[in-house]
Amino acid sequence: MSQKLTLTQTQTQRQTQEQRLWLTPQQLLAAKLTSLSLDELRERVETECIENPWLEKRRTVKSQGRSSLSYDVGERGDTQSFYDSLTEQMGEYELTDEEREILEYLIGSLDGNGFISKPMHQIVDELEIYHSIPATEQEVTRLLGVLQQFDPPGIGARNLKECLLLQHPSGKLRTVFESCWDDFTNKRWDRIQERMHLTDSEVEHLRREVQRLNPRPGGNLNDVMDRQMQTIKPDFIVEIDEDGMIHLSLNQGDVPSVKVSEELPGEEGEGESAAFVRSYREKGQLFVDALAQRRDTMLSVMKTIIRIQKPFFLEGDEALLRPMRLEDVAEKTGLDLSTVSRVTSSKYVETPYGMYPLKWFFSGSSIQDGEEVSVRKVKQALQALIEAEDKSAPLSDDRLCGLLQQQGYEIARRTVAKYREALGFPPARLRR
């Protein structure tokens, strides 16, 4: 059995290596261009035009590739994303390219509270599968420690306790968190006072100090960014016309459109001069073709996302989002999984309902009546139950689990607890 497994792994590795060898220079270049943001793409185009005299700029086109699918654009996004504000802070650290990729993936894995809720081994697996990065749990944990030094304090914590400790509370309050955590979460300040031999005034001071800490650093950062009103540049624009038809455009922003010049002579003949000219013209054409391939790939992926999530794009209701994985898009587009991953990383789409990162449209799923149901839908149902509960008698996780199962969501109690924490709701005893 082990020999067969080893042979299969060897064949898979050989096939993967052979597939990579078959990539053309244009495909390799297009892959690199696809991973770039609009600003990075503009810089790359400008650089190519400077270095290659046979490339010339054409009139800038604000959008390309408009195609009917079935949308009216509202306000343009004008806040810097949570993701971008954190990735900017990476510049303060000396990191290898691979360390940057891992750290970017950790930032992209933060939940709405700014926590890393995934176990390290899962992130290691995802890095290997989606980005071909063979990292160890030790390496990922070390880089998580780097992320936890970013602003706002508490970002990247794996739980509430770690979040509060990362905000460097005073000595006594730190002792409360480290030695009296159960009493603290249950608000048993009388027991904490007795165990730590505190005076009434000291307890009151500690309680005021707790109120200054932020249990949701992710939400805090979004509030700060909203006030600063910085700019996100959408990579796609989705509009709906009066007939309910969706229209998709690829945003070019201020990226110059380029072509290979037809006016510069010199490639006729055989000598070194002619060969030099031909090489630059070929490089220029390769770059132009790679840009076109980038455009086609980006549109293909976004069209597929819209087709899968069409109910959401027509209504703007998050509950209408369907379960969707990178593999689903790769299968429908015929593109490699790594290509889909590049397109959906750090890319944004502007819709009538706001600006969304593409990765927001992807989620896991549960099973309801034999069909996949978006985790978002389960979370919405859970949130509705908690918000409607009797505040004098909050629902326990067991009770919430039972109510969700009555609605047809086959979900375990531990999963209810996980989703409740992700939504920012404390346990029942702390919701009174």
Q: What is the reported pLDDT for 338? A: 86
Band (264; pLDDT cuts 50, 70, 90): low
Q: What is the reported pLDDT for 143? A: 94
Q: What is the reported pLDDT for 81? A: 58
> End of a domain among 300, 331, 361?
361
- Judge whether 323 lies within some domain: yes
Query: Is residue 347 a contact partner of residue 235, using CB atoms and an 8 Å limit?
Result: yes
Strand pairing class (348-351; 354-357): antiparallel
Domain that holds residue 150: 82-158+224-228
245 phi and psi, to 5 degrees? -85, 140
Interaxial angle between packed helices 25-34 and 337-344, expressed in degrees from 0 to 180 and rounded to the nearest 10: 30
- Judge whether 30 lies within some domain: yes
The answer to whether residues 258 and 273 belong to one domain is: yes
The answer to whether residues 241 and 357 belong to one domain is: yes
Residue recorded with tokens 């990178």: 326
Structure tokens at 217: 């650093």
Which string of DSSP letters, residue by residue, matches 342-404?
HHHTT-EEEETTEEEEGGGG-B-EEEETTEEEEHHHHHHHHHHHHHHS-TTSPPPHHHHHHHH
Selection from 38, 19, 52 nearest residue 264 by Cα: 52
pLDDT tens sequence across 129-183: 777 888 899 999 999 999 999 988 899 999 999 999 998 887 889 999 999 999 8
pLDDT tens sequence across 175-207: 999 999 998 888 889 999 999 999 988 888 888
Number of domains, the chain: 4
Distance, CA of 423 to CA of 432 (rounded, Å): 17
Reported pTM: 0.50
- Judge whether 15 lies within some domain: no
**DSSP annotation of 324:** B
Q: What is the reported pLDDT for 266? A: 53
The answer to whether residues 303 and 401 belong to one domain is: no
The answer to whether residues 355 and 414 belong to one domain is: no
CATH, residue 90: 1.10.10
Query: Is residue 28 a contact partner of residue 338, using CB atoms and an 8 Å limit?
Result: no
The answer to whether residues 46 and 129 belong to one domain is: no
Query: Is residue 328 a contact partner of residue 308, using CB atoms and an 8 Å limit?
Result: yes
Q: What is the reported pLDDT for 171? A: 85
> End of a domain among 361, 383, 407?
361
Coarse DSSP helix, strand, coil percentages of the chain, rounded to the nearest 5 percent: 55, 10, 35
Predicted confidence (pLDDT) at residue 417 exceeds the cutoff of 90 = no
The answer to whether residues 332 and 267 belong to one domain is: yes
Distance, CA of 313 to CA of 334 (rounded, Å): 23
Please tell me which residue, 254 or 223, carries the higher pLDDT value: 254
> End of a domain among 314, 332, 361?
361
Distance, CA of 298 to CA of 252 (rounded, Å): 12
Q: What is the reported pLDDT for 226? A: 47
Q: What is the reported pLDDT for 1? A: 46
Mean pLDDT, the chain, integer: 79
- Judge whether 11 lies within some domain: no
Q: What is the reported pLDDT for 219? A: 67
Q: What is the reported pLDDT for 227? A: 42
Distance, CA of 304 to CA of 329 (rounded, Å): 6
- Judge whether 90 lies within some domain: yes
The answer to whether residues 350 and 406 belong to one domain is: no
The answer to whether residues 256 and 332 belong to one domain is: yes
Element (H, E) at 260: strand 257-260
- Judge whether 178 lies within some domain: yes
The answer to whether residues 277 and 305 belong to one domain is: yes
Predicted confidence (pLDDT) at residue 2 exceeds the cutoff of 50 = no
